[in-house]
Amino acid sequence: MHKKRWRHAACNLGLLVTSIGVTASPCHAAGSRSGWMWSQPANNYGSANIIGDPQREEDVLARIDAWGFDRAYVSYGTLPLSNAEAVANWNKSLANDGVTTQLLLGENTWIYPQNRTALLAIVQSRLVNFNLTREDPRERIHGVHLDIEPHGLSAWSAGTPADRKEMLYLLSDTYAVVRQHLDSQNASDIPIFADLPVWYDSSTSIGWDDAAERDSWFAGIAESLEGISMMAFERKTLSSIVSGVDWEIQNLPIEVRVGLNAAEIGPGKTFADFAAFDAMATSIEQHYGDAIGGVDYQPFYTYVDAAPALSLSADFDSDGDVDGADFLSWQKGYGLVDAATPSNGDANGNGSVNRHDLSVWESQFVSATAPLASVPEPSTFAIFVVALLGSGRTLLKTRTGDASA
């Protein structure tokens, strides 16, 4: 098992070197959250509409930075084949923020032996072959994430507990086949993660002969998997979630994360509003601490829709406008990864100061000059500030909403 190595992999992807001469780790303030980024072309925040769209990518990067994500489960579709550069650039941008990526794949019929060839072909073409073309490790896909749910098949609902148990053995065999394939392709460093409901350990739902057989099945999947995300859906209290996930957390030698369903937010649903949903995620983290890998959100695009807009301000010196002095505050604070304040240049309130805070400054600064595409060289910055302070450029007034020369 490589659990500890994987949990810190994001911090080992390389140092972020910027053009202002600052070198800093991409790892920001502590955060261990993630989301299932399904393609969902009908939603602006489906991965099909994010990858390859620079403006949408920057929007999403700012959000996941503020929300403390440490990984992303991404449905890439055929993009690794049709637009490899877009995938590489997206992965690199995430890696620079300390976020690792996993190839998200979901098809329940992959439990059956006759369908595994199709699964392996996807893993080979969209991950193994893609990674071989990328010299920069930040551009690669860092893991496989299997969302294979046999309980979603008609054979499950029609079957007996004993039938369901046999389907779980087919599932564990599928995990093993993917693991064996990766190992055979010199990709043994690629971890596999999977999604499980909270009741596979139940002798009522599954016809386990006894606790020993159940334990043996879970031990078997732990040989193939690096971690699991427990789908603690339709549970509105911490105690009910703990009762569903605690056995796996206490007994499995792999990483266990807890998944919450953002589609359950709203009047009459599991969580009355986003605040209640977010409070539950925090309660889970506080209850388990380092015993879990983090909290995951299903699906990402629904989470984005439900979450309140980010509270952003680049008036770092609180003088009522966004100008070159605020840029200086950001520059001085750049690289802080914990306990940063607005005066340090933290625009999105996540306790760190990085390029996303610069993007906020850029968006709030109204100038006749071209927007900054990247952080300028020190000499360029000096010229920029002199020109800014001496030219009477238009500044954005954050207190009054007025623009004055």
User: What is the structure's pLDDT at 314?
Assistant: 83
Residue type, 132: L
pLDDT higher than 60, residue 107? yes
Span 237-258, pLDDT tens digits = 999 999 999 999 999 999 999 9
Alpha helices in 99-230 (DSSP H): 116-123, 129-132, 154-158, 161-184, 211-224
Confidence band (pLDDT; 50, 70, 90) for 364? confident
Query: Distances in Å between the alpha carbon of 191 and those of 72, 101, 124, 181?
Result: 14, 11, 14, 12
Q: Which residue segments constitute the domains of the chain, with CATH numbers given?
A: 31-306 (3.20.20.80), 321-404 (no CATH)
User: What is the structure's pLDDT at 312?
Assistant: 66
Q: H or E stretch including 35?
A: strand 33-37
Nearest to 261 by CA among 233, 221, 287: 233
Confidence band (pLDDT; 50, 70, 90) for 6? very low
| Residue 13 contacts residue 95 (beta carbons within 8 Å) | yes
Which whole number is the average pLDDT over 1-24?
A: 35
User: What is the structure's pLDDT at 313?
Assistant: 83
Residue type, 172: S
Nearest to 144 by CA among 95, 76, 191: 191
User: What is the structure's pLDDT at 7?
Assistant: 39
Take residue 196 and report the two structure tokens written for it.
Answer: 């499980």
Span 296-354, pLDDT tens digits = 999 999 999 999 987 768 888 887 778 888 899 999 999 998 888 999 999 888 888 99
User: What is the structure's pLDDT at 365?
Assistant: 74
User: What is the structure's pLDDT at 384?
Assistant: 54
Confidence band (pLDDT; 50, 70, 90) for 357? confident
Span 110-143, pLDDT tens digits = 999 999 999 999 999 999 999 999 999 999 999 9
| Residue 172 contacts residue 224 (beta carbons within 8 Å) | yes
Average pLDDT, the chain: 85
How far is C-alpha 94 from the geometric centre of its chain's CA atoms? 9
User: What is the structure's pLDDT at 172?
Assistant: 99
Residue with tokens 């690096």: 226
Nearest to 228 by CA among 207, 216, 245: 245
pLDDT higher than 50, residue 71? yes
